[in-house]
């Protein structure tokens, strides 16, 4: 049975002293210098989690304040927090706030409250009702303490991980188990989407066949064609659903590798529905790292019409106050209703919130299937929280995501560099039987079909926008099946340097600047150029909501919002790459900001900006459906091989405009080489 109690897992004093004194952590924690193994598994991850916690502790105390007053705001008290809008490691919902009287001794009373909402420059707090009733505007010293619940659940998960066994954590070559569902994959009907002729070697033939439509007959060998709920799935998506249902490599995790815009969530929803309807004994956890993605998953399952309220629950954390989408409100429960939650066959939650289920003392293997969407954005310990609930030799773990996009968001650069920044999905895909092997698996997208399906049909972007990221990050496998009426509508836009080619690289030589004590950067020249493009675009068929502006620095976000708001364009979304991951816009405009080379090394060391960060680059250029505009300094960006490739691509397409080009970029009249780099070999 799972342990009912959630221990505290305090940071060891020895490690705390080492970090605060600036000593080499690896000397006192030699486990961090060794390859990850089953023997050191829990110790390795616990150490990295402690490092992350120490950095979180340091960062949150930056927001502590002396002699500050709070303002009544409905049922809350509001507190203005300097630096909150900078996008530094931030105060989060659920964090604790302690108020003490200025100048009072240690024996004076303190008041504890919690953050209930985080706005742009203020937080909404709630204390005991007696404090709210008596508070009269007097000043207090304010101290922030972050919520340790997720960290504690991660520690619990890695300490429980030995129960999963090596075939889940370190899978070797899979051995065939009997199929959970005796289904097969048939050729797609002519009326359904098929792969172009040159791509049919990725179809999945030779493994199993999945039929669609009514009246299908059992095939030879007794396997029956499977009735899909979503008949629009393409060949790889159908193959993935079949392989998940058959689960012949269990308990080894199955990976759904979904590059941008390839419909991995649609595929996952079909797989969940098939498991639910085909295996009556199944009990399913479907989770993601974020609440918004979990809401989307629940909405998709609801809109399928194939689950009832009695079948599914959307499990929320106790403190969640964000608006819950209306269609899934009826499915929502929280931690006070866990007994009811455990009786539902489909539980949708964040990875962290599934940790509440451990407190029920359920038997290992109680859940038969766990699906983790956007698994590439979760740390391995975070991913293990739901995976640990599915610890059984007959259980099936499914990880869906893209190791070529952004990974977990962390505050400790040390913990990230030592391994916490690599998701479980990425670790598996860079080792053992999950490795790409185009010789052995040429008929299956270069991956072992028992363990991985790579989706290659992009339903988002214009072919011109898809070509370069496909070659740089996905071995040239991606091709577009997006609706031409959507993706080609701006091919004749007046602002294009080359008609028919909806991409622009606008070279500028501005200046990157900072204000006062702000650590963030902005570039006024780029901001004005972005505004000009936005004004030129909006009107007619292009709405403000069609445009997204991506920039890596919070101060540039702030300046752009001010500029856009001054001309009535405040509905245009402006944000960081991280804020746009998993999203798309008809038009994406990128402001890269950096215009001097002397800060590039600093950015690289602190994982800021776009340079030397291939994943951030990949996400930024794959959000656009019909038009991509990049504004930046080509002399600075050209120092990065990926940006150099992109710059060269735009020059070759006749899509470059602006300042003079660096000597590293050649014209169409000269021989050139695209730098094609993949993080997965």
How many CA atoms, within 13 angstroms, populate the side-chain half-sphere of residue 33? 7
How far apart, in whole angstroms, are the C-alpha atoms of residue 644 and residue 636?
10
Q: At residue 45, does pLDDT exceed 70?
A: yes
Lowest mean pLDDT among 172-186, 275-289, 428-442, 540-554: 172-186
- Decide if 1-146 and 247-458 have a common fold: no
**Arithmetic mean of pLDDT over the chain:** 88
Per DSSP, the chain holds a count of helices (H) and strands (E) of 22, 25
- Measured between alpha carbons, how far is 44 from 154 in angstroms, rounded to an integer? 12
- Using CA atoms, how far apart are residues 242 and 225, in angstroms rounded to an integer? 10
Give yes or no for residue 82 having a pLDDT over 90: no
Q: Are strands 76-80 and 122-126 parallel, antiparallel or unpaired?
A: antiparallel
**Interaxial angle between packed helices 41-60 and 149-160, expressed in degrees from 0 to 180 and rounded to the nearest 10:** 170
| pTM of this structure | 0.90
Of the candidates 466, 444, 471, the residue with the CA atom closest to the CA atom of residue 455: 444
For 619-634, how does the pLDDT look when each residue is reduced to its tens digit (9 = 90+)?
A: 999 999 999 999 999 9
Instruction: Specify the higher pLDDT residue, 328 or 540.
Output: 328
The reply to whether omega before 239 is within 30° of 0 (cis) is: no
CATH architecture of 463-658: 3-Layer(aba) Sandwich (3.40)
Question: Tokens 């120092």 — which residue?
Answer: 639
Residue 535: enclosing H or E segment and its boundaries?
helix 524-537
Distance, CA of 361 to CA of 358 (rounded, Å): 6
Q: Among 1-10, 195-204, 228-237, which range has the highest average pLDDT?
A: 228-237
Q: Which residues are CB-neighbours of 532 under 8 A, at least 6 positions away?
A: none
- Say if strands 312-315 and 346-350 run parallel, antiparallel, or are unpaired: parallel
Which of 69, 249, 274 lies closest to 177 in space, CA to CA? 249
If one compares 64 and 2, the residue with the highest pLDDT of the two is 64
User: How confident is the model over 409-420, as a mean pLDDT?
Assistant: 95
CATH class of 1-146: mainly beta
Q: 149-160 and 380-388 are packed helices; what angle lies between their axes, rounded to 10 degrees?
A: 70
- Would you state the structure tokens that stand for residue 606, as one six-digit string? 């602190």
pLDDT of 68 > 60? The answer is: yes
Fold of domain 247-458: Rossmann fold (3.40.50)
Lowest mean pLDDT among 82-91, 301-310, 647-656: 82-91
Of 94-103, 156-165, 536-545, 595-604, minimum mean pLDDT range: 595-604
Each residue's pLDDT tens digit, 479-535: 999 999 999 999 999 999 999 999 999 999 988 887 766 667 889 999 999 999 999
Higher local confidence (pLDDT), 353 or 599: 353
The domain segmentation of the chain, as residue ranges, is 1-146, 247-458, 463-658
Give the tens place of pLDDT for each residue, 169-210: 999 988 888 999 888 764 444 334 444 444 444 433 333 333
Task: Choose among 581, 623, 582, 562: nearest CA to 572.
Answer: 562
């Amino acid at each position: 049975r799972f342990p009912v109690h959630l221990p505290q897992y305090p940071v060891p004093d020895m490690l705390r002293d080492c970090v605060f004194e600036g000593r080499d952590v690896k000397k006192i924690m030699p486990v961090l210098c060794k390859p990850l193994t089953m023997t050191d598994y829990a110790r390795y991850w616990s150490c990295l989690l402690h490092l992350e916690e120490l950095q979180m502790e340091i960062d949150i105390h930056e927001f502590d304040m002396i002699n500050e007053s709070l303002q009544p705001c409905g049922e809350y008290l509001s507190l203005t927090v300097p630096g909150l809008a900078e996008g530094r490691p931030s105060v989060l919902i659920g964090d604790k706030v302690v108020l003490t009287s200025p100048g009072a001794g240690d024996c004076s009373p303190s008041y504890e409250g919690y953050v209930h909402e985080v706005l742009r420059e203020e937080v909404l707090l709630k204390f005991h009702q007696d404090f709210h009733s008596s508070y009269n505007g007097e000043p207090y010293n304010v101290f922030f303490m972050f919520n340790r619940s997720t960290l504690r659940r991660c520690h619990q998960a890695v300490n429980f991980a030995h129960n999963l066994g090596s075939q889940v954590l370190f899978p070797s070559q899979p051995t065939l188990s009997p199929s959970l569902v005796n289904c097969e994959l048939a050729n797609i009907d002519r009326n359904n989407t098929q792969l172009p002729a040159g791509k049919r070697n990725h179809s999945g033939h030779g493994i199993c066949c999945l039929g669609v439509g009514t009246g299908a007959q059992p095939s030879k060998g007794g396997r029956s064609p499977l009735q899909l709920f979503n008949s629009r799935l393409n060949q790889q998506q159908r193959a993935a659903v079949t392989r998940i249902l058959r689960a012949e490599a269990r308990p080894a995790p199955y990976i759904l590798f979904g590059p941008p815009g390839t419909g991995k969530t649609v595929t996952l929803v079909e797989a969940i529905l098939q498991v639910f309807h085909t295996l009556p004994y199944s009990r399913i956890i479907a989770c993601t790292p974020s609440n918004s993605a979990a809401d989307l998953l629940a909405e998709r399952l609801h809109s399928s019409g194939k689950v009832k309220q009695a079948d599914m629950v959307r499990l929320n954390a106790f403190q969640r106050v964000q608006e819950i989408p209306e269609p899934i409100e009826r499915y929502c429960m929280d931690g006070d209703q866990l007994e009811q939650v455990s009786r539902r066959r489909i539980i949708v939650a964040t990875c962290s919130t599934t940790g509440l289920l451990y407190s029920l003392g359920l038997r290992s293997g109680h859940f038969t299937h766990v699906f983790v969407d956007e698994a590439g954005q979760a740390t391995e310990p975070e991913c293990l929280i739901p995976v640990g609930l599915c610890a059984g030799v007959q259980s099936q773990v499914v990880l869906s995501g893209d190791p070529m996009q952004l990974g977990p968001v962390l505050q400790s650069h040390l913990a990230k560099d030592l391994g916490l920044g690599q998701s479980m999905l990425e670790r598996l895909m860079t080792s053992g039987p999950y490795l790409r092997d185009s010789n052995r698996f040429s008929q299956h997208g270069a991956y072992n079909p028992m363990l991985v399906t790579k989706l290659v049909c992009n339903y988002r972007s214009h072919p011109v926008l898809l070509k370069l990221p496909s070659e740089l990050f996905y071995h040239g496998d991606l091709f577009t099946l997006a609706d031409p009426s959507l993706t080609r509508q701006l091919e004749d836009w007046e602002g294009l340097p080359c008609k028919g080619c909806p991409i622009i690289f606008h070279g500028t030589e501005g200046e990157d600047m900072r204000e006062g004590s702000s650590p963030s950067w902005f570039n006024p020249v780029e901001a004005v150029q972005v505004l000009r493009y936005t004004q030129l675009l909006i009107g007619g068929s292009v709405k403000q909501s069609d445009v997204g502006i991506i920039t890596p620095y919070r101060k540039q976000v702030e300046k752009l919002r001010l500029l856009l708001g001054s001309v009535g364009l405040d509905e245009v979304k402006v944000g960081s790459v991280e804020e746009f991951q998993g999203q798309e816009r008809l038009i994406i405009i990128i402001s890269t900001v950096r215009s001097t080379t002397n800060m590039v090394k600093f950015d690289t060391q602190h994982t800021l900006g776009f340079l030397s960060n291939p994943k951030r680059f990949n996400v930024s250029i794959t959000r656009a459906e019909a038009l991509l505009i990049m504004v930046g300094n080509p002399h600075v960006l050209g120092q990065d091989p990926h940006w150099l490739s992109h710059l060269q691509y735009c020059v070759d397409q006749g899509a470059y405009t602006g300042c003079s080009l660096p000597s590293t970029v050649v014209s169409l009249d000269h021989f050139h080489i695209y730098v094609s780099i993949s993080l997965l070999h």
